[in-house]
Every structure is written in structure tokens, then in C-alpha cells.
Amino acid sequence: TPIQNNLDEFYTLV
């Protein structure tokens, strides 16, 4: 089963 990635992996908090 694929694992769900999360947006924090791609974008940084501003």
C-alpha cells in the first residue's frame, strides 16, 4: 500500500 505523504515534506512554513 502506498504511504500518504504530507505537505510539510514539500513546503515550508512562512
Binding positions for another protein, rule: CB under 8 A: 1-14
Q: How far apart are CA 14 and CA 2, in angstroms?
A: 29
Q: What is the CA radius of gyration of the chain?
A: 10
Nearest-approach distance from CB 1 to another protein, in angstroms: 7
Cα separation, 2 vs 6, in Å, equals 13
